[in-house]
Structure 1
Amino acid sequence: MNLEVKKFFAQSEYLDQMVLRPLSHIDQNWELIRGNDGYLAEEGNLSAHLINLIDVLASTEPPKKYHDNEDRLAEYLVSMGSKIQKEGRYWIGDDYGFVLQQASLAHQLNHEELIFSAAGRVMAAIKHKQRMFDEMEEGHQAMLAAILTILVFNYGTWIHGTHS
């Protein structure tokens, strides 16, 4: 278990607001409860799923190029008829978070791509001396939050797969 990853998320002021609050229509009890060493899981709500996801990310070997994982998702969506296209390093034609969400919903295996992408984004932030979620560059923070929200929302489909 990578403690650096766990510390990256511990005691964040923004994590629950950015990841769980967008799902408040599903679970009105979306706020994380802070403990001495991180967060306390409340069984039966989305915060427990996020805490479990952080554990998964801490035990996942991050890819060297997390954008490759995201590109595979976007390419999968193109193969299904999406009109998005890549210009340089960027996908255009739709909101990038929406692209990742739609591609991940299209096929359960794509959740692994999101897990690897999230793990890679966390390690990239740490390498750039952004030691916690709240210190991330705003655009990267928003994208990581969107990926985590997708994974929390789809918790049941990926937790029972290879990361159970």
Structure 2
Amino acid sequence: MTAHSETGQEISFWTNHYGRLSSDPFKRTHRVGGACAPLASAAHKSLAASLGYRHRQQYSHGKVELAERDNVKHYLGGAIMDERIRNFFSRSHLFDEMVTYQLAHIRPHWELIWDPEKNEYTPEEHSYAEITNNLIIELSKLDPPLKYHNNEDKLAEYCKLLLKWDIKKVGPRWIGSPYTSILEQGGFRDLNQKELCLAICGRIKAALDRGQLHFDDMEESHRTMLADVIAVTLFHRSDYS
């Protein structure tokens, strides 16, 4: 989503995770008080300066863009959402089969129904729809890590050092135990699933960078791995009462 000036020029707020201008920006929505904030054309530069932005005029596309220099979520209390994250999961035919079906023994209503009007999965009793909706919102507000494997490695190191699992990393892979089991057990020491969520966000960003804009369009092995990491995260957020 974007804001518009008095002259109808489109104003968007974005950055990539390198903190530089990008020809394929990781778009963000500027929200204040839960609503898209319209900016007067004469005021957008002063607002940009106050938020730590630098400004450029993009004449070729006829729009004014404010590029994020600092972490704008610090200034706006985290009230920014990347709609590409929500769209990544919308109307998926594979998500519930690959993710929530794994957790059907905990919540039997594993099939999810997308509500196009509310742009979310329809909450149902004994379903993961609401938890999934909340996770998507959380992911949309995160800055994708440069190397998401580092976040997953922290969980594996917990299994190796504290649980004394006979596992080791060979090249980019951990061997000695199924990777999903490593993430699941390591997740018990992951407060609020911080490392898991960052890993998910990083994997989604990697897919977007490859032009895979939807969960169903991902390369199969990457989609399977992402589905497993999401399933582990939802498992740790399950209410067993």
TM-score, normalised to structure 1, is 0.89
2:102 corresponds to 1:102? no
Q: Considering fraction of residues, name the structure with more strand.
A: 2
How far did residue 113 of structure 1 move?
0.6
Let me know the Cα RMSD of the aligned residues: 1.6
Q: How many residues align?
A: 156
For residue 227 of structure 2, what is the aligned residue in structure 1?
A: 145
Q: Considering fraction of residues, name the structure with more helix.
A: 1
How far did residue 110 of structure 1 move?
7.2
CA distance in 1, matches of 2:86, 2:145: 18
For residue 11 of structure 1, what is the aligned residue in structure 2?
A: 91
Higher relative contact order (CA 8 A, sep 6+): 1
* Percent of residue pairs bearing the same amino acid type: 39
Structure of greater Rg: 2
What secondary structure, in the 3-state scheme, does the structure 2 residue paired with 1:91 have? strand
What secondary structure, in the 3-state scheme, does the structure 1 residue paired with 2:108 have? coil
My pick for the range that moved more, 23-32 or 112-121, is: 23-32
For residue 92 of structure 1, what is the aligned residue in structure 2?
A: 175
After superposition, give the CA deviation of every residue in 1:34-77 in whole Å (9 maximum; x if it has no partner): 22134222365322111111111111111011011011111121
CA distance in 2, matches of 1:17, 1:94: 24
CA distance in 1, matches of 2:186, 2:89: 26
Call closer, same or farther: CA 1:85–1:110 in 2, change over 3 Å: farther
Letter matched to residue 45 of structure 1:
S
Gaps of at least 5 residues in structure 1 are 158-164
Letter matched to residue 11 of structure 1:
R
Letter matched to residue 104 of structure 1:
G
Name segments (4+ residues, structure 1) moved above 3 Å.
Answer: none
CA distance in 1, matches of 2:220, 2:158: 27
For residue 63 of structure 2, what is the aligned residue in structure 1?
A: none
CA distance in 1, matches of 2:157, 2:138: 25
